[in-house]
Structure 1
């Protein structure tokens, strides 16, 4: 059973959690009443008999949880097993931490972050992303950094055919949201990059024709774990079109890092990521053949466009092995 594709809860489950978190009354007929934390807590999963039954004997990176095999899994529940002393975590935060997934039927451990960590720490990046990693939002949001949470999730929360799981997770420390590596001298002929105070890049294109092969250069050289093929990479990025210099996508504009496997992006972007160390910032110029394909340029898609990306590599996690 693979867990990584299941870290996003279904829209139905997220909606149910939102409604439950907004209600301050035990009366099921009562209208939801916003609380003082509604603007900060997105899912706000509550404790119950299932999540309370999970015990945790260890600390990150090895949490060593015990999940009973007879849990009911009637709804999503969260119990804070131990409370940390850091700042509260919220959607958009990126932290290092540890997690363990357990099969809901048997209580058997399915996956642990120790097995997917990219370095000797045994920790992995954890992104509180409501669209792609809502399980971790449900587990860690609105709890102090350093807290350990136990959460139980019925299979229905993942959509049709989903299996019930339990998750134990702990955030350890916040990770930088911009590249921290040493500056590297600019490469001749590449676009010029200027960074704002928060790290957001502005890209100025050089004159002349676009290159016909993908070109990648470092702007900052990190010293963290090296990204391997199939890793899930945690990044900030901005992409512009060579044809007119306009930004077509940017995590900076959305206000939070993002994550994806290197095998899930266009060939030129994959080439820019793999082999780079965490903490690095790279610039990649990607012709259509390594991007979205050849064709006539139009404003509705990226076909025929040469693309320029500036990418800050914030973390990486190894793929799950079977």
Structure 2
């Protein structure tokens, strides 16, 4: 479904190598202590340390003021809980609403925050390939927990600077479309949902349409997807020619997928942009809006059908 690898542009995603670089380390200054993530199932489960414990947070949410001591060492990835929540525990691949600030340690400047998201709460899919920073901050803590995460500059790569993340997972977000059902569009494939919301698609008799067609199956009322947004979706893709599945988030432990609208084939992009979060859409695309005549591709010259649940959308911040 993707036509090229996702190019992540935000400060938030600059730490995508965080888990790979740090998941093997134990608690700060305690190399003889067993790694707690080994038994908990957590990917990192960052522990408190001298730096994270020394950070002062006054207030909460987007109004919080984060103060970092000038002599803070930033010797390791450290996480300190400043207020414990009472909700379900957050784990990798969860979709959660997050209030956060990312602060430049040396200056106290807020370099990114959830203020740029609708309502000041950013939808975050805890995918270790593109949101490892938030996995480190939020995993293995209950919903409602407020944390500070101390990040040495080295986790951001060469030239990186020390940063502090103040974050709270406010709520679990739906992982299926929650919009109002819409009457089916005549001539389009039939979609049925099981009790968990997983779709199946039945292809009608006849030839595939010559142009991309999009039908709304459920009408959401959330934020509108814009071109270039980072979206979170559940999806199922089948070939018009035989109705066989070729790609599906539902087949990967029903974990949602995340990508930019500009990082997928044209027909999929047309299905997403302009739609509202909470919607479920059905798209039928000819090869010209799919994979065309790409030699060696299993979808060469195939008309494709997708049903897509749109779960979240976030504008992508220009690279700092």
* TM-score, scaled relative to structure 2: 0.88
Distance 2:193 2:299 in 1: 25
Residues 1:269 and 2:268 are matched in the alignment: yes
Question: Does structure 2 retain, via aligned residues, the 8 Å contact 1:41–1:90?
Answer: yes
Offset at residue 27 of structure 1 (A): 5.5
Show the counterpart of 2:49.
Answer: 48
Distance 1:26 1:266 in 2: 48
Residues 1:307 and 2:304 are matched in the alignment: yes
Pairs within 5 Å for 1:1-322: 2-10=10-18, 12-17=20-25, 20=26, 26=30, 28=32, 38-115=39-116, 117=117, 119=118, 121-255=119-253, 256-295=255-294, 300-320=297-317
Offset at residue 315 of structure 1 (A): 1.5
Unaligned runs of 5+ in 1: none
Offset at residue 64 of structure 1 (A): 3.2
Deviations for 1:256-293, whole angstroms, at most 9, x for unmatched residues?
11222222222211111111111100011122222223
Question: Does structure 2 retain, via aligned residues, the 8 Å contact 1:63–1:98?
Answer: no
Question: Does structure 2 retain, via aligned residues, the 8 Å contact 1:68–1:107?
Answer: no
Distance 1:160 1:95 in 2: 30
Q: How many residues align?
A: 310
State the SS of the aligned residue for 1:52.
helix
State the SS of the aligned residue for 2:313.
strand
State the SS of the aligned residue for 1:252.
coil
CA RMSD of aligned residues (A): 2.5
Question: Does structure 2 retain, via aligned residues, the 8 Å contact 1:62–1:114?
Answer: no
State the SS of the aligned residue for 1:320.
coil
Unaligned runs of 5+ in 2: 1-8
Deviations for 1:209-268, whole angstroms, at most 9, x for unmatched residues?
222211111000011111112221121111122233222221122221122222222221
State the SS of the aligned residue for 2:235.
strand
The ranges of structure 1 where at least 4 consecutive aligned residues each deviate by more than 6 angstroms after the TM superposition are: none
Question: Does structure 2 retain, via aligned residues, the 8 Å contact 1:60–1:123?
Answer: no
* TM-score, scaled relative to structure 1: 0.87
Question: Does structure 2 retain, via aligned residues, the 8 Å contact 1:48–1:77?
Answer: yes
Distance 1:303 1:70 in 2: 59
Offset at residue 11 of structure 1 (A): 5.6
Deviations for 1:175-224, whole angstroms, at most 9, x for unmatched residues?
11101111011111111111111111111112222222111110000111
Distance 1:205 1:188 in 2: 12
